[in-house]
Structure 1
C-alpha cells in the first residue's frame, strides 16, 4: 500500500481500540480493488466524541469513519443525516463525510451478522432468538433479524429500561416494514427454548469476564453467536461447542461488512 497526498483516510472510532480487527481486513481489500485508501484505528473516549466528529467535518482528506463500541448511538445523534434502517433505529456504525463536511450515517452490523449466519449454513427465518445486550450492535442485529423473518426475539439486558427502549424501536421498524415478529424481554440470560442465542455485549473480551449466558441451558441443536472479534473463540463459544451447539464467531459479522463499508464510504472511487 502506497500512501500519498491523495489517499482517502478513514478512521475506526472505538474505545478502547486495541481489539480492532477491521483495518486488517479493510486495507487489503482496498488494495485488491485498486483503491487509494487507508483505514486507521482512532481510540476516542466518549467524552471527546462530539469534538472528534466536528474535526472530521473539517478534515478534507478524511472520507469517513467506521464506528464501534461504545459510540454507535452517540455518533448517530451527531450525524447530519441517517439513511435506511439507521434513520429508524437512531444508531450508526459507518459515517460518510461529504465534500461539504456533512456527515451521513448508516448501520451495516445487522446485514453483516445475518450474512455471517447464512455463510455458516444457518437461516434465521422462523427462529426464536435471544439477544443479550441492548446497545447499538444488539439493536442493529435485532433489526436485521426482524427483516430476515425471525419468529420471536427476546432481549436480555442488565438495565431493563434499555431493553424496553430497544423493543420499542424494533416495534416501530416492524410496523413500518409490515412484519409481525413476537418481541419481548427476558429476565434471565437463559438459552432454554431458543434456536439462536447472541451475545451482543462486550463480555468475553477480557479475561475474568462473567459468561453472558447461562451455559448450562445451552444444548445440541442451538446456535450460539458472538459479536466479539478478539478473542476469536470466546469462553461462551467454547462452552457452547462443548455442549453440542453450533457456534458462529464474531469475525463472521465483520467479513460480511467489508465490501459494503467500502462501497458506502468511498462512493464513486469504489
Structure 2
C-alpha cells in the first residue's frame, strides 16, 4: 500500500481527496489519498514523514505553499518562478517541489472558458501564490497586459517585479485597489481573474461597476454556492468560470507526476462535482 495526501491548513476543506481517490480507484492502483490537516508549527514534521518509502508525494495548499519551499530537496522550474509549491514528489527519499497551478489555470481558461489570452488585456486581483501562477500563465499565453490589483500595493509590486523578467511579450503592472484603478483598468480588459480567498474579501475588492459584458470573469475559488463575484458578473451579462476546472486540472497534472499514468479526467470531474453537491446538502438547514 502506498500513500498520497494533501497538506492543508487546519479547519480548511478541499475536494482533492475525493477526486484523486476516485481516479486512483478507477485505475486500480493500490494507493490511498488522504487529507493531512497541518498547522504551521507542524509543517516540518509533516514533510519529514513524506520521505517514507510508502509515501509517493502529495499536494500542498493554503497556507503552506510558500513555507514548504525550504523543506524541499529540489524545486522545479514553475515552482521556482512562482515561489510556491502545490505538489511534492518523493523520489527515493528526495522531495521535489513542483507547481502545476499554471498548467491547471491555462487548461481551464482555454478548454472550459473558451478564452485565448494572446494579445488581450487582463486584470488579476490578489498577489499571493495563486495570483503569481495566474500572472505567469497569462504571460506564457501571450497576454498583452496584465494589471495586478491588490489591497496591499507593495505585494502587487513585488509580484510584478519578480515576474516581468519572465514575460517576454506581456507588460505586468501593479495597482492599488482604488476606484481610480478600477475605472481605468476595466475599460479595455476582457478577462478578470480573482485570486482572493474568501467571497467577502473578493466582494469588497471588486466593484460591480468594473464588470462588463465583454469580460470573462474567472473566480479561481470553488464553492458549493455560486460566489458573489460570479453572481454579480452574470447580472452584468459577463461570461463566468469558477475554480473547479482549475482544481481538477492541476490535480490531474499532479496525478501524472506521482503515478506516471494518464488520469481519468471524466471520473475526476464527476467525483469533484459530487463532492461539491454533498457540501451543499450538508450546508442546507
TM-score tier by shorter-chain length is 0.7 to 0.9
Q: If the length of structure 2 is used for normalisation, what is the TM-score?
A: 0.83
- Report SS of the residue matched to 2:56: strand
Contact 1:17 1:42 in 2 (8 A): no
- Report SS of the residue matched to 1:74: coil
Match of 2:103 in 1: 111
Higher helix share: 2
Deviation at 1:209, TM superposition (A): 4.6
Aligned residue pair count: 255
Out of 229, 233, 236, the residue aligned to residue 226 of structure 2 is 233
Q: RMSD across aligned C-alpha pairs, in angstroms?
A: 2.0
Q: If the length of structure 1 is used for normalisation, what is the TM-score?
A: 0.87
Match of 1:258 in 2: 251
Which residues of 2 match residues 30-49 of structure 1 at below 5 A? Answer: 30-49=24-43
Query: Structure 1 pair 224/35, CA: closer, same or farther in 2 (3 Å)?
Result: same
The alignment status of 1:242 with 2:235, answered yes or no, reads yes
Q: 2:261 & 2:177 partners in 1: Cα distance?
A: 47
Out of 167, 185, 198, the residue aligned to residue 203 of structure 1 is 198
Structure 1 unaligned spans of 5+:
1-5
Structure 2 unaligned spans of 5+:
264-285
For residues 67-110 of structure 1, the C-alpha deviation after alignment (integer angstroms, 9 at most, x for no partner) is 111111111232111112222332111011122x2110111111
- Report SS of the residue matched to 2:21: helix
Out of 171, 177, 187, the residue aligned to residue 182 of structure 1 is 171
Match of 1:167 in 2: 160
Contact 1:202 1:228 in 2 (8 A): yes
Q: 1:136 & 1:235 partners in 2: Cα distance?
A: 22
Query: Structure 1 pair 269/258, CA: closer, same or farther in 2 (3 Å)?
Result: closer
The alignment status of 1:22 with 2:20, answered yes or no, reads no
